[in-house]
Amino acid sequence: MELSCLQENLSKGLSIVGRAVPSRTTMPILRNVLLATDHGQLKLAATNLELGIVHWVGARVETDGAVTIPARNFIDLVNSLPAEQIALVVDEESQTLRLTCGSVKASFRGIDAEEFPVIPEPQDGAEMAVEAGDLRQALSQVTFAASGDESHKVLTGVLAEFEGQTLTLASADGFRLSVREIPLLHPIPQPLSVIIPARAMAELARIIGTQEEPVEISTTQPHNQVLFKLQDTVLNTQLIDGKYPDYRRIIPQEHTITVVVGRAELLQACKRAEIFARDATNIVKLAIGDGELTVEADSAEMGRGSTRLEANVEGPELEIAFNVRFLIDVLSAINTPQVVLELTTPTNPGVIKGVGDESFLHVVMPMHLGR
Amino acid sequence: MTGWPILGHQLAVRQLQQAVSQDNVPHALLITGPENVGKMTLAHTLAQAMLCTADEDRPCGVCRACRKVAAGHHPDLLVISPEGPRGKLKIEAIRAAEQFLALTPHESRHKLVLVEHFEQATIGAANALLKTLEEPPGYAHLVLLAGDSESLLPTIVSRTNQIALRPLPVPLVEQALQSRRHVPAAEAERLARISGGRIGWAVRAVDEPEHLQQMEAAIAQWLALMSSDLPEQFAALKTLSRSDTDLRQMLAYWLIGWRDVLLLKTQAEAPLTLQEHRPALEQLAERVTIRQITALIERIGAAQALLQRNVNAQLLLETLLLAHQQTR
């Protein structure tokens, strides 16, 4: 293998795939990054066997080849180099990568690329596609609600249901549920439902960044992995095996109280209440009265604080308590100016939506007021 | 169908080969048999066959998947074992296996977990595995390796398909040592005899001479212990139980010794395992009765089982030696 490329491009590419390099692993080869020539470009790849990232960098390829190199050292060195051409040469015999950049020379002892896990690649004509902006927003609204409890593995994932014209993403951790629908760019004939690790989805959100081109989504046979194809990057993720709970049964079908309130004001009030709530298991009380909503928190040791907000209230008065962290999470993820809370009693789950946005819905369990 | 590179165990090999070619390998297998009899080799070959990408005659041994299994870094194979020779198989290891199996396979259609020395699993670890054994994902295969099924939880055993491996015929081991390892005939005969048909032990004795030396040291120590007096014995045991000697292995060597004494005493036809120590063994045989020998053999077996349960090693060995004392 012999090629040259620009330091900036290589450094950027490594920063993208480097996120998939595991910090702890029982398989030493996973600490390496794969460098391979591919159709006149340099292909970089890394995987932690849960998610893998492949990124293509423009390069002038003299001879084809592949090698794997210890990721951390290679990335640190490339980042330290001046913004010039980097020449990379692999000695196939000793699996050594030699790097030259201006006055800098370095060499890395590699491991045969054959030993690296097989990285799946999308076939041409991806089965599904969504707008990057939609997906980015949907991920920010859904992934945070996934559980961190590894003993209940399916809940650590995000459910992705592809059906007809719609992709529905849902996640829940037993206390809250986030559901977001986004349109598919072209309808699909066969419905498909998979559970994707939330960590992979969070990484996907990061990689999408500011890209505007549509994201193509495909699966490998026999539905072992899902691939998200971005402009110069492909993220592949293993799936979580199992049956996702029927989340639709958790969504309350009716409510007696509707509260419409400014999103930013409510978020601000919650953040203020959190100062007192964080010492008392994060409980905040929402007192709903005639045309107003009071957010208050009370700490036996510290004191108390409350914010009264003007709100459009329909239905009887109610006092209900929530985990303030959960409210902050969902209010930060909604981007309409106003939100609506749909409630029934202090012990029934509440629904939070953006006013005028039917594509997103959040259900949150109340906390016990303990009186 | 060409053969797997496994010596002996034809029945088990045939059974597994057939399961692989018909793609109906059970989700949970329990391979039992004495130490070093070839359990791991069999399990490893099974894993290779299941992950191999060749169309037939799996494992082909040359495809990328086969080579990765051989090198120990196939992403769809996880091997878990207890920590250290006296260690326990902990619940954390089982959890790691569960995490591994929760995600879909990476390169193959299957995902395998091999659990070595499952008899050393803590109760918690064994119970944690029950859930996975009960409803494994479609692609998941668990292969548990253990000395025997009696020491395992019945709930585990009943959820697995059991394959019992027995020691190979001694001549077969002798032949293999000569033909495959080019061991001189006399040495091959001796090693095969001492191995008692446990091929892994014989191969290890060839590859790692210190392994053989360890055994010889243990036997010499045992003979010395048998002819020394109580205070000396207690002093020796104190050092033994505090050293990092594999006590279970040591007791296994003692058993071999007592078996030979029993053979001498009963004037049986079977050849002695420790032919080299015949005079010392004969001396010992004169001092004990058959009844005493069988009682001792039973006690050593019980002690081996107790060692797995985290008992005080020094105390255990002392009681065992007091039982030996009565033979004087």
Phi then psi for B255, rounded to 5 degrees? -60, -40
Closest-CA residue of chain B to A26: B73
Contact, B199 vs B30, CB < 8 A?
no
> B317 pLDDT band (50/70/90 cuts)?
confident
Chain B touched by A147 (CB under 8 Å):
no
Contact, A226 vs A217, CB < 8 A?
yes
* Tokens linked to A262: 């400014």
Mutate to test the interface with A, among B106, B113, B139 (most CBs of A within 10 A): B106
Phi then psi for B212, rounded to 5 degrees? -70, -40
What are the boundaries of each domain within chain A?
2-115, 128-248, 252-364
> B28 pLDDT band (50/70/90 cuts)?
very high
Q: What is the pLDDT of residue A125?
A: 55
pLDDT tens-digit readout, B242-261: 777 778 888 888 888 999 99
What are the boundaries of each domain within chain B?
10-164, 208-325
A117 chain-B contacts, CB cut-off 8 A: 75, 106-107
According to CATH, what is the number of the domain A2-115? 3.10.150.10
DSSP-assigned beta bridge partners for residue A352: A341, A362
**Cβ contact, residue pair A224, B138, below 8 Å:** no
pLDDT tens-digit readout, B186-219: 889 888 888 888 898 888 888 888 888 888 888 8
> B1 pLDDT band (50/70/90 cuts)?
very low
Chain B touched by A29 (CB under 8 Å):
yes
pLDDT at A370 over 70: no
pLDDT at A219 over 90: no
* Tokens linked to B146: 């253990």
Q: How far apart are CA B138 and CA B266, in angstroms?
A: 55
Q: Mapped to the 3 state alphabet, what secondary structure does A144-174 carry? A: HHCCCCCCCHHHHEEEEEEEEEEEEEEEECC
Mutate to test the interface with B, among A26, A32, A195, A220 (most CBs of B within 10 A): A26
Phi then psi for B210, rounded to 5 degrees? -65, -25
Q: What is the pLDDT of residue A69?
A: 95
pLDDT at B58 over 90: no
Q: Quote the ipTM score.
A: 0.81
CA distance to partner chain B, nearest, from residue A92 (Å):
18
B71 chain-A contacts, CB cut-off 8 A: 115
CA distance to partner chain B, nearest, from residue A121 (Å):
12
CA distance to partner chain B, nearest, from residue A309 (Å):
46
B101 chain-A contacts, CB cut-off 8 A: 241
Contact, B75 vs A211, CB < 8 A?
no
Query: What is the pTM (predicted TM-score) of this model?
Result: 0.83
Q: Where are the alpha helices (DSSP H) in chain B?
A: 10-21, 39-51, 64-71, 91-102, 123-134, 154-157, 170-181, 185-195, 199-207, 209-226, 230-242, 247-265, 278-287, 290-307, 313-325
| CATH of A252-364 given 3.90.1640.10, 3.40.630.30, 3.90.1520.10, 3.10.150.10 | 3.10.150.10
Q: What is the CA radius of gyration of chain A?
A: 25
pLDDT at A35 over 70: yes
- Top mean-pLDDT range of A306-310, B36-40, B190-194, B317-321: A306-310
| CATH of B10-164 given 1.20.1540.10, 3.40.50.300, 3.90.1300.10, 3.90.550.10 | 3.40.50.300
Q: How far apart are CA A149 and CA B98, in angstroms?
A: 13
pLDDT > 70 in chain B, percent: 97
According to CATH, what is the number of the domain B208-325? 1.20.272.10
**Helices B39-51 and B64-71, packing angle to 10 deg:** 150
CA distance to partner chain A, nearest, from residue B138 (Å):
9
Closest-CA residue of chain A to B65: A115
Q: Tell the burial category of A118 from Cβ atoms under 10 Å away from its Cβ (0-12, 13-18, 19+).
A: middle
B68 chain-A contacts, CB cut-off 8 A: 115
According to CATH, what is the number of the domain A128-248? 3.10.150.10
Q: What is the pLDDT of residue A183?
A: 96
Q: Which of A98-112, A134-148, A218-232, B131-145 has the lowest mean pLDDT?
A: A218-232
Pairing verdict, β A318-323 and A312-314: unpaired
Q: What is the pLDDT of residue A223?
A: 66
